[in-house]
């Protein structure tokens, strides 16, 4: 009876997986993971079962814990692998988060060796605590959804099982386990909640564990709906690559949908979620943007900035705005089909691709180098200008780039092609009249693409 809910959850898990699956239990040796491993070993499902222990090295007892895990696995006839990880005690995100990242990285790396599913022992009380912590951090539906039952190769089959069921199972089956002393240290936020807050909540609201766990499921559904709405709104605002957000259609949305789409776009580019106040400040700036403003917004812990040009927000990696000095060194061009320059690649179309070039495209074709000419690829220089026709004067680099709608942050690193010291071409933008090809057969079409 004590293990009925646990057995039911684990049988349901095993039945949902292909018969040739492998389960890798994240085995710390603590009560929860010890019960999970024992129950799976007792059920002996047809699928393969093994365990993995992560040695963090943060406690003086870490070696003893690893030895305990080996003994426990030997008794259950379950294979055990182990990994030692290094956790930075002064990590910017905090030691809890750093240890968690190191642990999951090690688990997923180990599971990749045989395409195993990683199974953790998170339960309903863990879910309730996570929901409360996210509430206290001011999180939205994505954070309040807490932990999903399944996330790709990561499974949490006990997420709807109460802590009391786990304690009862351990007592009934005599499951031995270790006690991590860090779980009693109120320095950590989850421990403070567990030690000082949860007992009062459980006493005042006996069903809090299941109620909060259920609330997390409802938030997960709300987040799913928000994602679906963001996908719908993205069709009119976000480019196929996800790097730009058109601000005019974005501004036409309601406040809630604007913020939802902004969160979605940032997440799409790998940005950590913005704090509530910061998101609102970004929204304010993007709503009131004027053409003369130079908006540069930097997400926390992201190697990129958000920049606005002609009513479009761009996700711009730092490598684009700050390419290495070595990549900007002038280089000779001797007719190569492609070269790397700055933060991108400079290519020259093959002759056969140009044979059917349209008349408008032909105007942008560059003649091939001739003997005794010195062609150079370099960054722009002060005073750069290009003669676009025989009857007009030279046009400044700045004016050419403005007319071509090239974003300001790209101009400083955009390559310039010169011949004997004269600007012959700004790749992908224009070709000087005297260096234009007379026919596609003797032509190339320079094009520079930033990453």
- Residues 23, 80, single domain; the answer is yes
- Residues 441, 389, single domain; the answer is yes
Whether residue 50 lies inside any domain: the answer is yes
Whether residue 227 lies inside any domain: the answer is no
- Residues 81, 181, single domain; the answer is yes
- Domain that residue 279 falls in: 236-320
Read off the CATH number of the domain in which 287 is found: 1.20.59.20
Q: Is the Cα torsion angle 411, 415, 419, 421 positive or negative in sign?
A: positive
- Residues 295, 366, single domain; the answer is no
- Residues 361, 292, single domain; the answer is no
Q: pLDDT 10s digit of each residue in the chain, 451 long? A: 445 899 999 999 999 998 889 999 999 999 999 999 999 999 877 789 999 999 887 788 889 999 999 999 999 999 999 998 887 777 677 777 788 888 888 999 999 999 999 999 999 999 999 999 999 988 889 899 999 999 989 999 999 999 999 999 999 999 999 998 888 889 889 999 999 999 999 999 999 999 999 999 999 999 999 999 999 999 999 999 899 999 999 999 999 999 999 999 999 999 888 888 899 999 999 998 676 667 889 888 788 899 998 899 999 888 888 878 888 899 998 888 888 888 888 888 755 544 444 444 444 688 888 888 999 999 888 888 998 887 778 898 989 888 888 888 888 889 999 999 999 899 988 899 888 888 777 888 888 888 7
Residue finishing a domain among 217, 252, 270: 217
- Residues 171, 103, single domain; the answer is yes
- Residues 312, 335, single domain; the answer is no
The pLDDT tens digits for 393-420 are: 889 898 988 888 888 888 888 999 999 9
Entry field: residues in the chain:
451
- Residues 337, 435, single domain; the answer is yes
Whether residue 415 lies inside any domain: the answer is yes
Res 389: pLDDT: 82
The pLDDT tens digits for 289-328 are: 676 667 889 888 788 899 998 899 999 888 888 878 888 8
- Residues 14, 68, single domain; the answer is yes
Whether residue 228 lies inside any domain: the answer is no
Res 133: pLDDT: 94
Res 402: pLDDT: 87
* Total number of domains constituting the chain: 3
Whether residue 288 lies inside any domain: the answer is yes
Res 59: pLDDT: 83
Say how many C-beta atoms besides its own lie within 10 A of residue 310's C-beta: 8
* Dist. CA 6–CA 36, nearest whole Å: 8
Q: What are the structure tokens assigned to 59, written together?
A: 């406690």
Q: What is the pTM of this model?
A: 0.75
User: What is the signed CA dihedral for 96, 101, 106, 112, rounded to 10 degrees?
Assistant: 150
- Residues 335, 315, single domain; the answer is no
127 and 133 Cβ atoms separated by less than 8 Å: no
- Residues 158, 184, single domain; the answer is yes
Res 367: pLDDT: 86
Whether residue 245 lies inside any domain: the answer is yes
Read off the CATH number of the domain in which 153 is found: 3.40.50.620
- Residues 78, 149, single domain; the answer is yes
Residue finishing a domain among 299, 320, 341: 320
Whether residue 347 lies inside any domain: the answer is yes
Whether residue 231 lies inside any domain: the answer is no
**Long-range contacts for 204-208 (Cβ within 8 Å, ≥24 apart)?**
208/128
Residue finishing a domain among 275, 294, 320: 320
């Amino acid at each position: 009876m004590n293990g009925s809910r646990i057995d039911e959850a684990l049988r349901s898990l095993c039945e949902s997986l292909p018969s040739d699956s492998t389960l890798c239990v994240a085995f710390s040796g603590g009560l929860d993971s010890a019960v999970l491993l024992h129950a799976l070993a007792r059920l002996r499902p047809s699928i393969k079962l093994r365990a993995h222990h992560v040695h963090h090295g943060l406690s003086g007892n870490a070696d003893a814990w690893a030895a305990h895990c080996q003994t426990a696995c030997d008794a259950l006839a379950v294979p055990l692998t182990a990994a030692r990880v290094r956790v930075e005690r002064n990590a910017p995100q905090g030691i809890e988060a750093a240890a968690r990242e190191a642990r999951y990285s090690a688990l997923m790396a180990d599971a990749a060796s045989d395409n195993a599913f990683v199974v953790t022992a998170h339960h309903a009380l863990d879910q309730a605590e996570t929901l409360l912590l996210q509430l206290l951090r001011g999180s939205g539906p994505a954070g309040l959804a807490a932990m999903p039952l399944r996330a790709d190769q990561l499974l949490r089959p006990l997420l709807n099982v109460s802590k009391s069921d786990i304690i009862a199972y351990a007592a009934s089956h005599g499951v031995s386990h270790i006690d991590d002393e860090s779980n009693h240290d109120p320095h950590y936020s989850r421990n403070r909640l567990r030690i000082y807050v949860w007992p009062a909540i459980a006493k005042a609201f006996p069903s809090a564990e299941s109620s909060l766990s259920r609330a997390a499921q409802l938030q997960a559904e709300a987040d799913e709906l928000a994602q679906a709405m963001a996908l719908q709104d993205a069709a009119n605002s976000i480019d196929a690559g996800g790097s730009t957000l058109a601000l005019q259609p974005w501004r036409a949305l309601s406040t809630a949908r604007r913020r939802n789409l902004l969160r979605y776009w940032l997440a799409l580019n790998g940005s950590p979620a913005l704090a509530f106040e910061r998101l609102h400040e970004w929204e304010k700036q993007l709503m009131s943007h004027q053409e003369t403003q130079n908006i540069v917004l930097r997400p926390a812990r992201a190697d990129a900035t958000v920049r606005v040009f002609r009513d479009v927000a761009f996700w711009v990696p730092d490598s684009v705005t700050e390419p290495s000095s070595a990549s900007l060194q002038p280089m000779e061009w001797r007719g190569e089909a492609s070269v790397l320059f700055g933060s991108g690649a400079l290519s020259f179309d093959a002759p056969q691709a140009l044979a059917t070039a349209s008349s408008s495209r032909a105007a942008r074709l560059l003649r091939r180098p001739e003997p005794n000419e010195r062609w150079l690829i370099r960054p722009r220089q002060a005073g750069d200008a290009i003669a676009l026709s025989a009857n007009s004067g030279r046009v400044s680099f700045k004016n050419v780039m403005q007319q071509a709608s090239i974003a300001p942050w790209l101009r400083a690193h955009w390559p310039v092609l010169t011949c004997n010291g004269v600007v012959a071409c700004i790749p992908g933008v224009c070709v000087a009249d005297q260096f234009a090809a007379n026919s596609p057969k003797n032509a190339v079409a320079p094009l520079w693409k930033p990453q």
